[in-house]
């Protein structure tokens, strides 16, 4: 009789043949923005720790102090007995940082997106989801039971026409502020105008905006001066903040509703208190000093200019620390990524289904602390490795 798991073997074979099989790596952080990857020492151009706060002394010390008091795990869901004083402090710090009445913490950014969208929208509603939104937003829209409509942020006339035709009870517009694979920004002022025109509820995930954009580091909404018109602000603690988890900030009724309705909050063990303490300390660093954020954005612009001078054209609308270089074929993305690692640079190779067919790419992420000489060397090696491919 055939093995009942033969189909798994065949699926893996097909993925491998198409350059789509993912590998597991062992990675350890080293000093000054380097890391150890499967026997190679490399500069990190792959992680989302844009400001280096995951290893900031005050952030690490806050985690260690809380670890001594609370131990490792939170022991239960927040509603049962998992919400510690560190969770309370973090939620208060997030509300103060965001300038909102309240905030709620989720165990991951994915849990925040899935849980929030699925809790707010339901059967009888419509959700309008940008086609390039993160998978967690897409999954939240699908799980909500609402009618799903997909739009393109380069075709807002199409979004307006779709909204005008909808007769559903409630209409939600759901978008990332920074699209994680293209590195471009959502047209938030235009989306806010559409939200106003049609009485929609606007949900924005600032996962890659928090800590990076805006005078205070609150994200793209702050930078474009539309924060007050965004109904639901979602963020993550696991990127520029350097910790783990997700959050929602907004009016008190919204937070109370999510506390009682969001399944990813109710049925997940809470974040470890030490992680909450670390995130609170990281927020203090972001609020106290914009030097890292300013340096990050300045070198992001300089890096793009250096790529163009070397003959590499990054994704034309990307801004900030996410710099995609499209290589089209998944095999090409893997080959270039592997070659860069051998030369001492860790860069992510992004392939379908994360990005559309034919757009496999390198996803380069920049960090405030990377030395200038490492950036210069990276540009030179990247130009040599990508010659004839872009």
Q: Looking at beta carbons, which pairs linking 325-329 to residues 24 or more positions away fall under 8 Å?
A: 325/361, 325/362, 325/364, 325/382, 325/386, 325/390, 326/359, 326/360, 326/361, 326/390, 327/360, 327/361, 327/362, 327/386, 327/389, 327/390, 328/358, 328/359, 328/360, 329/19, 329/358, 329/360
Q: Between helices 291-309 and 372-386, what is the axis angle to 10°? A: 30
User: Could you tell me the pLDDT band of residue 1, with boundaries at 50, 70 and 90?
Assistant: low
C-alpha–C-alpha distance, residues 144 and 233, integer Å: 18
Q: Which fold has domain 57-288?
A: 3.40.640
* Candidate list 126, 239, 318, 337, residue with the active-site label: 239
Q: Residue 306's CB: how many other CB atoms inside 10 A?
A: 18
Q: Which two tokens stand for residue 269?
A: 């063990």
C-alpha–C-alpha distance, residues 263 and 279, integer Å: 23
Indicate if 377 belongs to the active site: no
Q: What is the mean pLDDT of residues 252-264?
A: 97
pLDDT tens-place string over residues 221-233: 999 999 999 999 9
Closest CA to 178 of 330, 317, 10: 317
Query: Which of 28-32, 123-127, 162-166 is predicted least confidently?
Result: 28-32
Segment holding 8, helix H or strand E: helix 6-17
User: Could you tell me the pLDDT band of residue 39, with boundaries at 50, 70 and 90?
Assistant: confident
pLDDT tens-place string over residues 186-216: 999 999 999 999 999 999 999 999 999 999 9
pLDDT tens-place string over residues 320-355: 999 999 999 999 999 999 999 999 999 999 999 999
C-alpha–C-alpha distance, residues 123 and 315, integer Å: 38
Indicate if 342 belongs to the active site: no
Give the CATH number of domain 23-50+290-386; options: 3.40.250.10, 3.40.50.300, 3.40.718.10, 3.90.1150.10. Answer: 3.90.1150.10
Domain boundaries, the chain: 23-50+290-386, 57-288
Query: Model pTM greater than 0.85?
Result: yes
Indicate if 160 belongs to the active site: no
Q: What is the mean pLDDT of the chain?
A: 95
C-alpha–C-alpha distance, residues 228 and 43, integer Å: 39
Q: What is the mean pLDDT of residues 143-151?
A: 96
* Candidate list 180, 238, 268, 300, residue with the active-site label: 180
Q: Do domains 23-50+290-386 and 57-288 have the same CATH topology?
A: no
* Candidate list 56, 70, 87, 208, residue with the active-site label: 208
Percent of the chain with pLDDT over 90: 93
């Amino acid at each position: 009789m055939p093995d009942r798991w033969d189909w798994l073997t065949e699926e893996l074979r097909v993925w491998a043949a198409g350059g789509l099989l993912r590998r597991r790596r062992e990675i350890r952080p080293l000093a000054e923005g380097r890391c150890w990857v499967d026997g190679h020492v490399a500069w990190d151009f792959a992680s989302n720790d844009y400001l280096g706060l995951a290893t900031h002394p005050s952030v690490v010390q806050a985690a260690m102090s809380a670890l001594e008091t609370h131990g490792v795990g939170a022991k239960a869901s927040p509603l049962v007995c998992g919400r510690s004083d560190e969770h309370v402090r973090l939620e208060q710090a997030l509300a103060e940082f965001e300038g909102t009445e309240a905030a709620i913490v989720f165990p991951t950014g994915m849990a925040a997106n899935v849980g929030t969208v699925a809790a707010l929208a339901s059967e009888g509603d419509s959700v309008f989801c940008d086609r390039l939104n993160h998978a967690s937003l897409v999954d939240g829209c699908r799980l909500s039971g609402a009618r799903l409509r997909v739009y393109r942020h380069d075709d807002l006339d199409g979004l307006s026409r779709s909204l005008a035709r909808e007769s559903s009870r409630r209409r939600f517009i759901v978008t990332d502020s920074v699209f994680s694979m293209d590195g471009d920004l959502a047209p938030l002022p235009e989306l806010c105008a559409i939200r106003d025109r049609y009485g929609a509820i606007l949900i924005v995930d600032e996962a890659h905006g928090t800590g990076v954009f805006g005078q205070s580091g609150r994200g793209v909404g702050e930078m474009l001066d539309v924060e007050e018109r965004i109904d639901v602000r979602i963020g993550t603690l696991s990127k520029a903040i350097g910790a783990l988890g997700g959050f929602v900030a907004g009016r008190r009724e919204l937070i109370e509703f999510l506390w009682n309705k969001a399944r990813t909050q109710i049925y997940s063990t809470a974040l470890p208190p030490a992680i909450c303490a670390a995130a609170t300390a990281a927020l203090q660093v972001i609020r106290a000093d914009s030097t890292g954020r300013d340096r990050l954005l300045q070198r992001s612009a300089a890096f793009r200019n250096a790529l163009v001078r070397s003959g590499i054209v990054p994704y034309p609308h990307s801004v900030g620390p996410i710099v995609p270089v499209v290589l089209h074929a998944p095999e090409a993305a893997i080959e270039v990524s592997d070659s860069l690692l051998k030369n001492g640079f860790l860069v992510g190779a992004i392939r379908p289904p994360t990005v559309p067919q034919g757009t496999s790419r390198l996803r380069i992420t920049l960090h405030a602390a990377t030395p200038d000489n490492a950036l210069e060397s990276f540009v030179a090696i990247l130009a040599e490795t990508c010659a004839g491919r872009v």
